């Protein structure tokens, strides 16, 4: 395995210039106002497990269009609340899995909300439990081209809105510290976390590990693996719709959205990552907080691919978030 894109020295010299859509703020303001017309309608129910140190609950809320989004809420047993919370979003194709799958954040004393990605959960892991009732026009296999000809119908409009609603749902709970809700995720989950941290008010901190969904216009030119290759394959067929597609993607590009972020962030990049090319992650890092004032710390893994730092990075996240909350 070799460098997939640029060396760290080349990244540090890279000038990231993006043409942000003029209507980006208005588009997301309108989108979130439409979502807010539906009550959050949070529902919680106990889940029995054999894990005696943690409490598990089935957790759901109304996402985009009032559609039900499912999650797990995991908390340390016997620890009085309210607790700081971590809302986690999932990598491409995966779902929230089994209740027992993710234990670290709750074991460290947090309320941990593990959120499904609508329509996903049948590619890897323990599965998902949230459908996507919205249909789409013709698309390539996968999720990245669903509804891609129009910003209003694009799949990630619903996903990012669900993520903002997940943060709101967590903050609304009496056993959660409303001013200490952070977001995290890896790959697609990292991109969703960056979007949520930029669009949802009151996020305390953002942790995005080797994030997807950044600098689309470059990614589709330099990434030769899925999921970006889904878009490349679509454009290879729809030769007359290239700019239409790229204009849609501009409204969901986290390299644009993160300029609005005000919370501190920890982002990781792997220099041998063929799935999320380092230059695309770098763009999100460099543009983070340009308008919102948030600062972004970058963790670099020179000899890793899309697996990133794994347990080494998760340990770093635990230390980093404790520092932010202190």
Give 4's Cβ-side CA count (13 Å radius): 26
Q: Residues 241-260: what's their mean pLDDT?
A: 98
List, for residues 170-208, the tens digit of each pLDDT value. Answer: 999 999 999 999 999 999 999 999 999 999 999 999 999
CB 195 within 8 A of CB 165: no
For the residues of 149-169, what is the DSSP string, one character each?
T-TTT-HHHHHHHHHHHHHHH
Per the structure block, which two tokens stand in for 221?
A: 């030119």
Q: How far apart are the first and last CA of the chain?
A: 40
Average pLDDT over residues 14-25: 94
Q: What is the pLDDT of residues 263-276, one digit of tens each?
A: 999 999 999 999 99
* Residue 139 pLDDT class (50, 70, 90 cuts): confident
Task: Look up residue 241 and give its DSSP letter.
Answer: G
Helices of type H across 6-115: 8-13, 24-36, 104-107
* Stated pTM of the model: 0.98
Grade residue 8 by pLDDT with cuts at 50, 70 and 90.
very high
Q: Which residue has the tokens 């689309």?
A: 216
> Where is pLDDT greater, at 54 or 137?
54
Report residue 4's pLDDT band, with 50, 70 and 90 as the boundaries.
Answer: confident
Please tell me which residue, 134 or 262, carries the higher pLDDT value. Answer: 262
What is the total residue count of the chain? 326
- Dist CA 255 CA 270 (whole Å): 17
State pLDDT tens for residues 287-308.
Answer: 999 999 999 999 999 999 999 9
Percent of the chain with pLDDT over 90: 95
Task: Give tens-digit pLDDT for 104-122.
Answer: 999 999 999 999 999 999 9
Give the per-residue pLDDT at 135.
78
Report the pLDDT value the prediction gives residue 138, as an integer from 0 to 100: 75
- Please give the positions annotated as active site: 187, 273, 306
- pLDDT exceeds 80 at position 94: yes
pLDDT value, residue 48? 96
């Amino acid at each position: 395995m070799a460098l997939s894109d640029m060396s760290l020295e080349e990244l540090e010299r890279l000038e990231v210039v993006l043409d942000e859509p003029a209507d980006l703020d208005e588009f997301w303001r309108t989108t979130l106002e439409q979502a807010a017309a539906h009550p959050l309608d949070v529902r919680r129910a106990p889940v029995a497990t054999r894990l005696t140190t943690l409490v598990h609950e089935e957790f759901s809320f109304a996402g985009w269009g009032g559609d039900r989004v499912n999650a797990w809420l995991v908390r340390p047993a016997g620890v009085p609340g309210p607790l700081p919370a971590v809302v986690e979003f999932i990598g491409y194709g995966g779902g929230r899995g089994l209740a027992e799958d993710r234990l670290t954040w709750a074991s460290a004393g947090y309320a941990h909300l593990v959120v499904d990605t609508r329509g996903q959960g049948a590619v890897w892991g323990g599965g998902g439990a949230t459908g996507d009732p919205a249909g789409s026009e013709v698309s390539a296999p996968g999720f990245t081209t669903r509804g891609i000809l129009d910003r209003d119908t694009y799949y990630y409009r619903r996903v990012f809105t669900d993520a903002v609603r997940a943060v709101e749902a967590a903050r609304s709970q009496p056993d959660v510290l409303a001013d200490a809700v952070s977001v995290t995720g890896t790959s697609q989950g990292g991109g969703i976390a960056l979007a949520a941290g930029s669009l949802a008010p009151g996020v305390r901190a953002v942790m995005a590990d080797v994030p997807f969904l950044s600098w689309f216009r470059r990614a589709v030119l330099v990434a030769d693996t899925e999921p970006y290759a889904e878009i490349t394959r679509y454009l290879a067929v729809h030769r007359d719709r290239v700019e239409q597609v790229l204009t849609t993607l501009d409204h969901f590009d986290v390299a644009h959205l993160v300029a609005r972020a005000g919370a501190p962030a920890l982002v990781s990049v792997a220099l041998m990552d063929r799935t999320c090319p380092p230059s695309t992650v770098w763009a999100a890092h460099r543009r983070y907080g340009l308008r919102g004032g948030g600062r972004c710390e970058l963790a670099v893994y020179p000899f890793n691919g899309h697996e990133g730092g794994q347990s080494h990075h998760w340990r770093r996240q635990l230390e980093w978030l404790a520092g932010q909350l202190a």
